Amino acid sequence: STIVGLNAGFSLTTGADNTFVGEESGFAVTTGADNTYFGANSGSNGSASTGSNNTGIGSAALYVNTTGANNTAVGYAALTANTTAAGNTALGKDSLRTNTTGAQNTAVGNASLELNTTGSYNVGLGDFALYNNTTADNNTAVGKQALRATTTGPANVAVGPSAGLSVTTGGNNVMVGTT
């Protein structure tokens, strides 16, 4: 393992092939392997973190990850609340910020899927895409603010800036264009 920074990798016991760069990056990782954390407090607050194959770049990225594996978080507070969820990709400030156990989500753009907690298999591409989604699964939003108001509505597809902006709980909709 490569460790650089005040208290970086502080709890590491048997974890191998990790890279922690930044103050308290990887602080709570104990046995997790093949993790890469760059930025202050990235991957630092999970209780006895054993998750492996995670990449957190940016301050507080994957901050509380415990057993979640195969996650990629790039940007300030991306996937910061993630605990056990696996297979998520968050690119952009606050993307998938409140996700805890939702798996296999892809969020690209500032605040995309920011309020998601347990929803899985969602794709949000664009700033604020699927912003309010909390528990809904299988949504695809492409465009700035596409499906922004959706909270629990499943299996929607919206393509275009602000497409499906007013959909909150409805499901199985296809919307193309602007609202």
Burial of 13 (0-12, 13-18, 19+ CB in 10 A): exposed
SS3 content of the chain, % helix, strand, coil (to 5): 0, 20, 80
Which runs of E-coded beta strand occur in the chain? 2-4, 19-21, 36-38, 55-57, 72-74, 89-91, 106-108, 123-125, 140-142, 157-159, 174-176
> Three-state DSSP class for 131?
coil
pLDDT bucket at 179, cuts 50 / 70 / 90: confident
Do 153 and 171 form a contact (C-beta atoms < 8 A)?
A: yes
In the prediction, which pLDDT does 29 show?
94
pLDDT digits (tens, 9 = 90+) for 108-158: 999 999 999 999 999 999 999 999 999 999 999 999 999 999 999 999 999
Do 149 and 168 form a contact (C-beta atoms < 8 A)?
A: yes
In the prediction, which pLDDT does 47 show?
65
Please say if the pLDDT value at position 40 is more than 90.
yes
Q: What are φ and ψ of residue 167, in 5° steps? A: -70, 125
Angle at 104 between CA 124 and CA 65, to 5 degrees: 105
pTM of the model: 0.95
Please say if the pLDDT value at position 77 is more than 90.
yes
Calculate mean pLDDT across residues 36-54: 90
